């Protein structure tokens, strides 16, 4: 019976790596039931805790952060120090998902110290991936890139396609936030190769979602829409609800930028409602920002202000510079729409201070462009427009694809910045 449980653990692990999370959970529970009939022994207990780790990871991937209970059992009861450290990474992952970022960071750092003492490189890699993910969610982008690069370097010496894919998708996100869109594109494409090789549907959908968002940011909207429609089909078929919710949000943004407003609002409202029901903090924050931006673009100023206030409160609670900058940017635009130019400038300057801590070329050029419109002083306005234009050119110059570069530069809002910069030169 113990041999059977060991085989089931192998199958559960294979299901997890293949993105078949519900199957991994079912197999882990089957193995645990078998072990319940056996007396305690060192080998039996080791297999039991291994199954709990697999079940906890699969549940976490589905956004079921109550999985923390599986990791807590292992952390409290396992004799093997490596299993205890792995459990601590799992606990940290659950804290990250539910928005307990301070607790998550403490747990990751403790797990990394323990794994280093045990010379457990596999646990250190998972710890670096988790910590790097946490950092970009907080807006600590350079720290995210540094931490995830450690994981990638370690994986070059100890290859693991699944963990490399996880590292690359998070590096892609961090590179996107930092404005290094050429590096983000390469990271996403490499991650997609990893997950397609593994036939891992959840992560394949996630990479396609992020690739679409990157093209969306560059205003290549037809390509963005194509990626997002494929991502939604894959996520829906795989039961990847957390990923599907973010894809729905991105489809809403695609439709908004394409001028398909009724479709945009339906998708963005659905994304926020489902994100709240799911309870994934980062997905909620993304949905709040996208819906607030959409409301404001359509002149629904009061509704946008209410969503921005909620976003600000959530961002302050988790100390996310990224989401705080986004909230303040919406609030500044709200004041500008209401004709309160002085207040708008003050709030947008606060947003700019938060954004410079990231730094994100996209957010920075957009904020400087808005300040160029809001500021009454012509010289200050010209300076903001010049800085916005410089960030736009830096973004475009780094793009390896001439078509993508031209699509970005030809967008009306980008052209408006470049034209006013040329006129003031």
pLDDT tens by residue, 9-56: 999 999 998 889 999 999 999 999 999 999 999 999 999 999 999 999
Could you tell me which residues come within 8 angstroms of residue 268 by beta carbon, excluding any fewer than 6 positions away?
249, 252, 253, 256, 287, 290, 291, 294
Residue 184 · residue 175 · CB < 8 Å: yes
Q: What percent of the chain has pLDDT over 70?
A: 98
What is the pLDDT, as a whole number, of residue 280? 87
Q: Where are the beta strands (DSSP E) in 315-423?
A: none
Least confident span in 23-32, 100-109, 258-267, 387-396? 387-396
Q: Which residue has the higher pLDDT, 422 or 408?
A: 408
Whether the predicted pLDDT of 425 surpasses 70:
no
Whether the predicted pLDDT of 129 surpasses 90:
yes
What is the pLDDT, as a whole number, of residue 359? 57
Q: What angle do CA 119, 124, 130 make, to 5 degrees?
A: 165
What is the pLDDT, as a whole number, of residue 193? 97
Q: Write the pLDDT tens digit of every residue in 163-179.
A: 999 999 999 999 988 87
What is the pLDDT, as a whole number, of residue 322? 83
What is the pLDDT, as a whole number, of residue 422? 73
Would 409 be classed as within a structural domain? yes
Q: What percent of the chain has pLDDT over 90?
A: 79
| pLDDT (mean) for 74-85 | 97
What is the pLDDT, as a whole number, of residue 353? 83
Domain assignment of residue 349, given as a range = 333-425
Helices (H), 199-260: 201-217, 221-238, 241-257
Q: What angle do CA 360, 362, 363 make, to 5 degrees?
A: 70
Q: Write the pLDDT tens digit of every residue in 310-358.
A: 999 999 988 888 889 899 999 999 999 999 999 999 999 988 887 766 6
Would 421 be classed as within a structural domain? yes
Would 88 be classed as within a structural domain? no
What is the pLDDT, as a whole number, of residue 421? 66
Would 40 be classed as within a structural domain? no
Would 376 be classed as within a structural domain? yes
Distance CA 334, CA 348 (A): 10
What is the pLDDT, as a whole number, of residue 355? 75
What does the DSSP 8-state code read for residue 65? G
User: How many domains does the chain contain in total?
Assistant: 1
Task: Report the chain's mean pLDDT, rounded to a whole number.
Answer: 93
* Tokens at 198, concatenated: 């593994």
What is the pLDDT, as a whole number, of residue 202? 93
Q: Which helix (H) or strand (E) holds 152?
A: helix 141-157
Would 262 be classed as within a structural domain? no
Q: Write the pLDDT tens digit of every residue in 197-253.
A: 999 999 999 999 999 999 999 999 999 999 999 999 999 999 999 999 999 999 999
What is the pLDDT, as a whole number, of residue 424? 66
Q: What angle do CA 139, 111, 177 make, to 5 degrees?
A: 15
Q: What is the DSSP string of 98-141?
A: TT-HHHHHHHHHHHHHHHHHTT-HHHHHHHHHHHHHHHHHHT-H
Would 395 be classed as within a structural domain? yes
What is the pLDDT, as a whole number, of residue 182? 87
Would 360 be classed as within a structural domain? yes
């Amino acid at each position: 019976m113990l041999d059977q449980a060991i085989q089931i653990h192998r199958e559960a692990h294979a299901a997890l790596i293949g993105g078949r999370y519900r199957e991994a959970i079912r197999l882990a529970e089957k193995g645990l039931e078998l072990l319940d009939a056996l007396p305690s022994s060192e080998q039996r207990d080791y297999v039991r805790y291994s199954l709990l780790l697999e079940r906890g990871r699969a549940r976490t991937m589905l956004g079921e952060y109550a999985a923390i209970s599986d990791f807590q059992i292992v952390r409290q009861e396992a004799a093997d120090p490596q299993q205890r450290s792995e459990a601590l990474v799992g606990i940290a992952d659950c804290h990250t998902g539910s928005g307990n970022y301070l607790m998550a960071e403490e747990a990751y750092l403790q797990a990394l110290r323990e794994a280093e003492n045990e010379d457990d490189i596999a646990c250190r890699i998972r710890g670096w991936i988790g910590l790097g993910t946490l950092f970009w969610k907080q807006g600590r982008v350079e720290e995210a890139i540094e931490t995830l690069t450690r994981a990638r370097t370690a994986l070059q010496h100890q290859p693991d396609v699944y963990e490399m894919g996880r590292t690359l998708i998070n590096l892609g996100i961090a590179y996107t936030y930092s404005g290094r869109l050429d590096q983000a594109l390469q990271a996403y494409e490499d991650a997609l190769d990893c997950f397609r090789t593994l036939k891992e549907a959840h992560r394949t959908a996630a990479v396609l979602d992020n690739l679409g968002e990157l093209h969306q940011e560059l205003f290549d909207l037809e390509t963005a829409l194509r990626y997002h429609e494929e991502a939604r089909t894959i996520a829906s078929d795989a039961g990847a609800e957390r990923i599907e919710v973010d894809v729905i949000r991105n489809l809403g943004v695609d439709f908004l930028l394409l001028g398909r407003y009724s479709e945009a609002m339906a998708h963005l409202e659905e994304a926020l409602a489902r994100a709240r029901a799911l309870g994934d903090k980062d997905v909620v924050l993304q949905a709040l920002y996208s819906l607030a931006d959409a409301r404001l673009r359509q002149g629904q100023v009061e509704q946008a202000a209410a969503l921005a206030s909620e976003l600000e409160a959530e961002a302050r609670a988790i100390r996310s510079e990224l989401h705080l900058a986004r909230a303040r940017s919406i609030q500044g635009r709200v004041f500008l729409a209401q004709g309160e130019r002085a207040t708008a400038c003050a709030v947008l300057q606060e947003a700019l201070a938060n954004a410079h801590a990231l730094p994100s070329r996209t957010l920075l050029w957009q904020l400087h462009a808005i300040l160029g419109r809001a500021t009454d002083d012509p010289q200050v306005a010209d300076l903001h427009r010049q800085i916005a234009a410089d960030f736009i050119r830096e973004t475009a110059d780094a793009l390896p694809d001439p078509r993508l570069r031209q699509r970005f530069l030809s967008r009306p809002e980008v052209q408006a910045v470049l034209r006013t910069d040329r006129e003031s030169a």
